[in-house]
Amino acid sequence: MIHDTLAQFSHYQLLHPRFEKIAKWLEENDIATLPLGRHEILPDGEAFVNVQEINVRPQAEIPAECHRKYIDIQIPLSGVERMGWQPLAEFPKDVPFSVEKDVALTQLPATDWITVRPGEFVVFFPTDVHTPGFIQEPIKKIIIKVLK
């Protein structure tokens, strides 16, 4: 997991071959004005962004999730979001995994929580279990999905 400011994202370009293209895309687009929905960044599902509005829900209802194919880059655009993290080794092995949606979801208390503000980002790798969406007020955010 990585947590940093968007101004520093280009420093992580060497971690993954598609991160350089993501950095360029972030520089060239006004992410705050993107309409809701899915937008392609790279062809063939190599990288795309989902723009979402997240509503308030009780922390106990927010599932932990993990992915196999995609890296998540999560960026709140309005409001503060708390995101939980824990290592994949703590995720129960018997939780069904949706290959189609590239996700497994379960109720699992996070071991660590981070606060992410507009102008910051978090990268969750397939080795990271994460619990996004703990908010005090509705927010708009983007999730960039990058094929690992």
**CATH number of domain containing 64:** 2.60.120.370
Q: Which one has a higher pLDDT value, 3 or 61?
A: 3
Banded pLDDT at 49 (limits 50, 70, 90): very high
Question: Has residue 34 got a pLDDT over 90?
Answer: yes
Range of the domain at 77: 2-147
For 110-143, the pLDDT digits (tens) are 889 999 999 999 999 999 999 999 999 999 999 9
Using CB atoms within 10 Å of the CB of residue 66, give its burial: 0 to 12 exposed, 13 to 18 middle, 19+ buried. buried
- Look at the chain and report how many structural domains it folds into: 1
Question: Cβ neighbours of residue 72 under 8 Å, at least 6 residues apart?
Answer: 122, 123, 124, 130, 143, 144, 145, 146
pLDDT on residue 59: 84
Banded pLDDT at 23 (limits 50, 70, 90): very high
Question: Has residue 45 got a pLDDT over 90?
Answer: yes
What proportion of the chain, given as a percentage, has pLDDT over 90? 93
Question: Cβ neighbours of residue 49 under 8 Å, at least 6 residues apart?
Answer: 31, 34, 38, 39, 41, 142, 143, 144, 145
pLDDT on residue 109: 86
Q: Note the pTM of the prediction, 2 decimals.
A: 0.95
For 62-79, the pLDDT digits (tens) are 999 999 999 999 999 999
Using CB atoms within 10 Å of the CB of residue 35, give its burial: 0 to 12 exposed, 13 to 18 middle, 19+ buried. exposed
Give the angle 10-113-119 at the CA atoms, nearest 5°. Answer: 35
Two tokens, residue 37: 């929905």
